[in-house]
Amino acid sequence: MPKVLFLTTSHSYNDDRIFYHQAKALRDKGCEVKICSLYTDYSGSIDGIDIESYAVLEENIDKKMETFRKVCHTFQPQCIICSEPLAVVAVRKFVKQHKAACIYDVTEWYPSMSMLQKYRFPVKIFQAVKFTFIQLYAGFLSTRFIFGETTKKFPLAYFFGFKKQMVLPYYPDTHYIRESVKQLKQGRITLCYTGRISKDKGIDNFFKAVDKLRQKASSLHIRILIIGSAVEERDKLYFSALLKKYNFDDIEIRKPTVFEQFTEELADADLCFDLREINFENNHSLPIKLFYFMGAGKPVIYSDLKGIRKHMGELSFGSLADPHNADGISDIIIDYIRNPELYHAHALNAVKEFKEKYNWEMIKDSFVDFVKKSIDK
């Protein structure tokens, strides 16, 4: 029975990509699977997957690397799938000594903007260069690559193009999707924002568009549904100020739900939004939530991101827009209100495309084969 170990620093052991999709797919194909995270404490077995997780994210680098090494030597995996460069570097000796496969699963831009925001210029430039070299070193040590999206292949796929690689998008398993296609009710609409509440993720852009909509359609009952929370203190203060500024009549704020119930929480929504800022990092991302909105049958209005256009082209179930163009976004919403047939067609298109192109069942076998071939090399 092949042994596969997942190592991650910043993701939880029950991360949707790692636990619910990759680990379960390998388990179902006869692999013995273990997940080690540095995000939180947990030890045990869940759904046949061994978990050994430690809350050492705030510890020094040596402590983090030693934690990974101990788990690695105890479990003796034939394949290690790493989510961050630190994990790759930590197990380099084990990989070399035991001729194990080391797959670097690149799902985040590295270095991320959040990693650099605490530094001031010119230190920020030095740190960016340093982190970039760490990324390249991790690429050198890895035996194979998995990229969450095509736009994240740079620079590793170009420096190490001779290494085996695959693109594995964030498609959801249909088991975790609850379809809730709706018909628009006359004179009413529910607009939904989900995820982290922050300026970067577009909460202000969303509120501006809704405010413009209520100015243009004063008789329309607009309900706002927010599923998420602000993490940083500055984001909490920012969000509180926005709520006071706009003073919407009908707004519901729900705490983030567990992964398995995410699309159930969307059942009341008519339209789902993601109007994140279009900076370099966001522009090269393919947001995971997009596919969950599709599966639930929700038309969307998204920031016009390069990552989406490159992967999907024009959307048949919504619109890509300038997140700062509140006037244009409000017109898109009004067009749905005036043409409920268009809205319903987009809702059906979302479900159809999800079932035909963008679900985990379509790609999981290629993922399992990629991992098994790394062991059988």
**Among 1, 82, 19, CA closest to 259:** 19
Query: Residue 74 pLDDT more than 80?
Result: yes
Contacts of residue 120, Cβ cutoff 8 Å, sequence gap at least 6 = none
Closest CA to 103 of 172, 40, 26: 26
Provide the pLDDT for residue 125.
77
* Residue 122: pLDDT over 80: no
Q: Give the angle 178-184-189 at the CA atoms, nearest 5°.
A: 95
pLDDT bin (cut points 50, 70, 90) of residue 183 is very high
Q: Name the DSSP class of 273.
A: E
| pLDDT of 294 higher than 90 | yes
pLDDT-based confidence at residue 377 (cuts at 50, 70, 90): low
Please spell the DSSP secondary structure of 96-158, one letter per residue: HHHT-EEEEEE-S-SS-HHHHTTSPTTHHHHHHHHHHHHHHHHHHH-SEEEESSGGG-TTHHH
pLDDT of residue 130: 80
pLDDT value for 57:
87
Residue 358 Cα distances to 293, 312, 351, angstroms: 11, 10, 10
- CA-based torsion, 260, 263, 266, 267: positive or negative: negative
Distance in angstroms (rounded) separating the CA atoms of residues 139 and 158: 10
223: phi then psi, degrees, rounded to nearest 5: -105, 130
pLDDT at 281: 87
Amino acid 116: pLDDT: 62
Contact yes or no for 300/272 (Cβ under 8 A): yes
> Which strands sit side by side in the sheet containing 318-321, from one edge to the other?
251-254, 221-229, 188-196, 271-274, 300-303, 318-321
- Per the document, the length of the chain is 377
Compute the average pLDDT of residues 331-353: 98
Distance CA 83, CA 345 (A): 38
Q: State the pLDDT confidence band at 280, using cuts at 50, 70 and 90.
A: confident
**pLDDT at residue 364 tops 70:** yes
SS3 351: helix
Tens of pLDDT, residue by residue over 135-144, are: 999 999 999 9
The per-residue pLDDT for 329 is 98
For residue 119, the model assigns a pLDDT of: 65
Q: Is the pLDDT of residue 209 over 90?
A: yes
Token digits of residue 176: 């975790």
Per-residue pLDDT, averaged over 265-289, amounts to: 94
Looking at the predicted structure, is the pLDDT value of residue 129 above 70? yes
As a whole number of angstroms, the distance between CA 246 and CA 266 comes to 23
pLDDT surpassing 70 at residue 293 = yes
Under 8 Å between Cβ of 100 and 78: yes
What is the bridge-based pairing of β-strands 318-321 and 300-303? parallel
Give the separation between CA 53 and CA 61, rounded to whole angstroms: 16
Over pLDDT 90: what percentage of the chain?
A: 88
Torsions phi, psi for 177 (to 5 deg): -110, 130
Residue 204 has pLDDT above 90, yes or no: yes
Element (H, E) at 51: strand 49-53
Locate 112 and state its tokens: 């991320």
pLDDT-derived band at 113 (thresholds 50, 70, 90) equals low
Tokens found for residue 332: 């898109």
3-state SS assignment for residue 34: strand
The pair phi, psi for residue 376, each rounded to 5°, is -85, 5
pTM higher than 0.85: yes
Mean pLDDT of 288-297: 97
Give me the mean pLDDT over the 55-73 stretch: 95
Q: For residue 114, is pLDDT > 70?
A: no
SS3 state at 163: coil
Q: Which residue type, as a one-letter code, is found at position 40?
A: T
Q: d(Cα 148, Cα 280) in Å, to the nearest integer?
A: 17
Assess whether pLDDT exceeds 90 at residue 1. no
* pLDDT for 260 beyond 80: yes
Q: Tell me the average pLDDT across 240-250.
A: 96
pLDDT at 46 over 90: yes
Give yes or no for residue 98 having a pLDDT over 80: yes
As a whole number, the mean pLDDT across the chain is: 94
The pLDDT assigned to 151 comes to 85
Give the pair of three-digit tokens for residue 57.
């994210």
Residue 347's φ and ψ, nearest 5 degrees, are -65, -45
